[in-house]
């Protein structure tokens, strides 16, 4: 039996090649070819390891006649046609366990910076401005923290919050997920009680514009919004209006509606809503790095290796 041949379409930690090579796998690295160029040779490979550069759609999968698995080094699988892969018997692998700790720390870090005006106050002092009352912070202690989506990321966030004196509740489409860190509630209860909303759901038709005018209107309290999941979960125009009106007190955004599919940049065409987010003191924006630590790069890759080996190719 010939050694499995794997195509690497995105750069990842070298441990993937190192460890799988020791187990007899062979590799080809291709970090520059276009979709059509990859399609012309995909029939040669037993497996593909990706991040987000190339969409693995139905045409891709149907052309890949030898393909036994697609492994995404990351959590989301929206760039893969999962029903088609399942129909063709192609195994799908991802590694949300690898960056859940990184995401959780990013959520808490962004909130602490935002609510305590740390970034703003630091810039002011560095520019010779010393304001104390204007930079009075808002404590997490005593607030109700609402999580939407209680998978790897949501659970890791709840665990990190256990020492902050907050009440943690969550909503998920699956039932019986509550644990020692958070209580499962209905979406209506979450909207009634939450002071903070943090999103941890995959990108699906159901989660597109999850946070829109209606969702915001149905929140009983003015609230903080945190999004480290996918940019299209939030309707930006609705968020901007709510920030201006005060219904959303402030927002921490690691992802934006205007990101390119590869997450490598944002669409830079003139956009007044985006301009507002980038220039508002009520908003912290980071470049899709919540899951992007030194440690998560290693862990993401290691989980992928372990899961590929479990396939017993």
Instruction: Note whether 203 and 75 are same-domain residues.
Output: no
- Asked whether residue 157 is domain-assigned, the answer is yes
Instruction: Note whether 43 and 67 are same-domain residues.
Output: yes
**What's the whole-number mean pLDDT along residues 133-143?**
97
The pTM for the full model equals 0.92
Quote the pLDDT of residue 80: 94
Backbone φ and ψ for 102, nearest 5 degrees, come out as: -65, -45
> Residue 310: is its pLDDT beyond 70?
yes
Instruction: Note whether 51 and 116 are same-domain residues.
Output: no
- Asked whether residue 279 is domain-assigned, the answer is yes
Tens of pLDDT, residues 68-93: 999 999 988 889 999 999 999 999 99
Instruction: Note whether 70 and 138 are same-domain residues.
Output: no
Domain residues for the domain of 141 are: 100-285
Instruction: Note whether 159 and 260 are same-domain residues.
Output: yes
Instruction: Note whether 86 and 105 are same-domain residues.
Output: no
pLDDT grade for 229, boundaries at 50, 70 and 90: very high
Contacts (Cβ under 8 Å, ≥6 apart) of 38: 7, 9, 30, 54, 60
CATH number, domain with residue 25: 3.40.50.720
Instruction: Note whether 120 and 82 are same-domain residues.
Output: no
Q: Residue 14 burial (CB < 10 Å; 0-12/13-18/19+)?
A: exposed
**What's the whole-number mean pLDDT along residues 245-267?**
86
Active-site annotation holds for 230: yes
- Asked whether residue 290 is domain-assigned, the answer is no
From CA 68, how far away is CA 66, in angstroms rounded?
6
> One of 13, 117, 230, 233 is an active-site residue; which one?
230
Closest CA to 146 of 231, 245, 220: 220
> Residue 124: is its pLDDT beyond 80?
yes
Instruction: Note whether 57 and 123 are same-domain residues.
Output: no
In the sheet that 69-72 helps form, which strands lie side by side, from edge to edge? Answer: 26-29, 5-8, 47-50, 69-72, 91-93
Give Cα 128 to chain centroid, integer Å: 37
Across the chain, what does the average pLDDT equal? 95
> Residue 268: is its pLDDT beyond 80?
no
- Asked whether residue 15 is domain-assigned, the answer is yes
Number of domains in the chain: 2
Instruction: Note whether 155 and 263 are same-domain residues.
Output: yes
Active-site annotation holds for 288: yes
From CA 159, how far away is CA 52, in angstroms rounded?
29
């Amino acid at each position: 039996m010939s050694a499995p041949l794997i195509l690497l379409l995105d750069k990842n930690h070298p441990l993937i090649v190192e460890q799988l090579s020791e187990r007899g796998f062979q590799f080809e690295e291709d970090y520059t070819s276009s979709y059509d160029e990859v399609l012309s040779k995909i029939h040669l490979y037993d497996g593909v390891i990706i991040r987000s550069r190339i969409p693995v759609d139905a045409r891709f999968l149907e052309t890949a006649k030898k393909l036994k698995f697609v492994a995404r080094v990351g959590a989301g699988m929206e760039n893969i046609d999962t029903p088609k892969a399942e129909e063709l018997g192609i195994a799908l692998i991802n590694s949300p366990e690898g960056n859940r700790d990184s995401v959780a720390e990013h959520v808490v870090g962004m909130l602490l910076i935002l609510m305590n005006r740390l970034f703003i106050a630091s810039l002011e002092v560095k520019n010779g401005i010393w304001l104390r009352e204007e930079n009075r912070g808002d404590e997490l202690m005593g607030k109700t923290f609402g999580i939407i989506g209680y998978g790897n990321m949501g659970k890791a966030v709840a665990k990190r919050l256990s020492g902050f004196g907050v009440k943690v509740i969550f909503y998920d489409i699956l039932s019986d997920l509550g644990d020692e860190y958070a209580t499962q509630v209905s979406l209506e209860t979450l909207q009634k009680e939450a002071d903070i909303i943090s999103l941890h759901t995959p990108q699906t038709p159901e989660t597109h514009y999850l946070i829109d005018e209606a969702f915001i209107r149905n929140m009983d309290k003015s609230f903080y919004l945190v999004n480290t999941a996918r940019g299209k979960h939030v309707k930006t125009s609705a968020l901007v209006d709510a920030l201006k009106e005060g219904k959303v007190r402030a927002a921490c955004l690691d992802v934006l509606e205007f990101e390119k599919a590869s997450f490598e940049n944002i669409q830079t065409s003139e956009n007044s809503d985006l301009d507002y987010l980038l220039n508002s003191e009520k908003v912290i924006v980071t470049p899709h790095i919540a899951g992007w630590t030194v440690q998560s790069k290693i862990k993401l890759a290691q989980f992928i290796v372990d899961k590929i080996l479990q396939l017993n190719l």
